[in-house]
């Protein structure tokens, strides 16, 4: 049996162990690097899929790309000015009708109607009050 305390044998065993450890480390590092690279490739691929869009496939709707989405935003912004102008005109008409403005609004007309109704109700109440009572005695005339 060889002498395991011999420095040459111990050096050879240490060198073999270091070589095996280095090989294992390199294999693991290479595997990790490939996994990291695969993840980045997938992320870069996802980015380009999002940028260019995805076509429809069975059971999945098409997804527009970034440029198509930007075009939709630009078109929407272009029409927003007209839409807001139209809405402002409608809001101005509504404001004109619900605020006091010297008699031409719906609010003014409603108050005039309420005042007229109150006056009519007062006149009706006055009319329906019992007036002074008069007693009339009726005696039959005697004929002689």
Report CA-CA distances (Å) from 44 to 51, 90, 116.
Answer: 10, 49, 77
CA 35, CA 53: separation in Å to the nearest integer? 26
What is the predicted pLDDT for the residue at 1? Answer: 60
CA 6, CA 13: separation in Å to the nearest integer? 11
Is 49:66 a contact under the CB 8 Å cutoff?
no
What is the predicted pLDDT for the residue at 144? Answer: 57
Tokens 């108050």: give the residue: 111
**What are the pLDDT tens digits along the chain (144 aa)?**
667 778 888 888 899 999 999 999 999 999 998 888 888 888 888 888 888 888 888 988 888 988 999 999 999 888 898 899 999 999 998 888 888 878 788 888 888 899 999 999 999 998 888 877 777 777 777 665
Is 105:98 a contact under the CB 8 Å cutoff?
yes
């Amino acid at each position: 049996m060889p002498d395991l305390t011999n420095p040459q044998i111990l050096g050879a065993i240490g060198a073999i162990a270091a070589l095996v450890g280095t090989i294992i480390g390199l294999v693991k590092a290479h595997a990790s690097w490939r996994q990291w690279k695969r993840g980045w490739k997938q992320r870069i691929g996802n980015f380009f899929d999002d940028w260019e869009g995805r076509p429809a496939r069975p059971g999945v709707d098409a997804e527009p790309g970034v440029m198509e989405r930007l075009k939709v935003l630009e078109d929407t912004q272009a029409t927003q000015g007209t839409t807001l102008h139209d809405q402002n005109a409608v809001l101005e008409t509504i404001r004109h009708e619900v605020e006091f403005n010297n008699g031409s609004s719906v609010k003014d007309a409603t108050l005039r109607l309420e005042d007229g109704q109150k006056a009519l109700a007062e006149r009706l109440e006055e009319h329906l009050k019992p007036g002074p009572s008069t007693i009339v005695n009726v005696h039959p005339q005697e004929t002689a």
